Amino acid sequence: MRTQCEKSAQSNRRRASPFGARVQFLSASRRRASPLGGGALPLVDWLRRKRRGRAMVHRWLFILPSLAIVCSRSFAGTFTVTLKVVDAGNMPIAKADASPFWDVKDGVMTTPAKMAGVTDDSGKTVLQVDDYNESRPVLVLSADRALGGIVGVSKTNDGKVVTARLGPTVRVKGRLGCQELNLKPEWANTIVTADGFGVYFAQDTSKSAEFEFVLPAGKYALSSYGTDVEDTRQTVTLAIDRSEYNLGTMDMKASPIAKLKGKTPPGWAITDARGVKADVKLSDYKGKWVYVEFWGFW
């Protein structure tokens, strides 16, 4: 007969698996040192950490090249350009704000101080612009936001004077919603790209699922994305004879994951896996705990 101590020792070496099965841990004499340091680990824990480490390596092998692409744009250098801001009659406009990037805060168009310039009495200001290897739009707004204009600048304008001629501005606003989910996104961002440019120059990030911009007349693409919804994009042309455009509510499609909240998950098709059979199905784990991780980089 086994003693009570032997039964207790055997019981302590067993733990309930989160998948419903029982896992037999090895005795201390058969433990190996952890490759991560910190003394000995049970074989099962050691294998788990080893697999975790491999997963992290694979992620970084994907992330590092992505960072290299992003950084190649972010650190491509800068150039300096002098803007000369005038009205329709070529008269200089003082105290106008100019920047390649604008942010909307509480319905007010603002610029990051380090990226913006304010014109002097001669209508001039100097901007230091990050070089994106393409023409970048610079939005210029008068102090009262009644006049505005967009001018493209690039490395070819380094050290030169570029004229920005301002005209009447237009206020454009709208809301975001999702009919499929019968709700609005908890968080959303809308960005603006001017026709003829590949880089956006303004954004409105909010929890109210609303957006509002002050823009010169012209053609723009408004792209929106947010919580539990898919990205949406619409093109608008703002005429000079209208002071305001209300685009109403833009209906955004529900994201695939949002559609499944509270429901039975669909089946999956395995293209590559380790530690399971090639034809494994999600239903094989019915009644057990399954941990599914979605991750990405942007």
Least trusted range by pLDDT, from 66-75, 100-109, 111-120 = 66-75
Give the integer Cα–Cα distance in Å for 220 and 228. Answer: 25
> For residue 160, with 0-12 CB atoms within 10 Å meaning exposed, 13-18 middle and 19 or more buried, which class applies?
exposed
Whole-number Cα distances in Å, 60 to 63, 65, 291: 5, 9, 21
Give the integer Cα–Cα distance in Å for 39 and 31. Answer: 10
Task: Give the pLDDT confidence of 171-224 residue by residue, as tens digits.
Answer: 999 999 999 999 999 999 999 999 999 999 999 999 999 999 999 999 999 999
Least trusted range by pLDDT, from 100-114, 128-142, 281-295 = 281-295
The whole-chain average pLDDT of the chain stands at 81
**Complete DSSP assignment for 218-279:** EEEEEEEEETTEEEEEEEEEE-TT-SEEEEEEEE-PBPHHHHTTTSPPPP---SS-SSS-TT
> For residue 295, with 0-12 CB atoms within 10 Å meaning exposed, 13-18 middle and 19 or more buried, which class applies?
exposed
Give the integer Cα–Cα distance in Å for 112 and 122. Answer: 23
Share of the chain above pLDDT 70, in %: 73
Give the integer Cα–Cα distance in Å for 289 and 16. Answer: 12
Determine the average pLDDT of the residues in 158-181. 97
Question: What pTM does this model have?
Answer: 0.69
Q: Are 250 and 176 in contact (CB under 8 A)?
A: yes
pLDDT at 235 > cutoff 90:
yes
User: How confident is residue 297, by pLDDT bands cut at 50, 70 and 90?
Assistant: low
Determine the average pLDDT of the residues in 254-282. 83
Whole-number Cα distances in Å, 130 to 99, 104, 153, 211: 11, 21, 10, 27
pLDDT at 131 > cutoff 90:
yes
Task: Give the pLDDT confidence of 42-71 residue by residue, as tens digits.
Answer: 554 544 555 556 555 555 655 565 555 555
What is the residue whose two structure tokens read 């023409």? 135
pLDDT at 264: 81
pLDDT at 28: 37
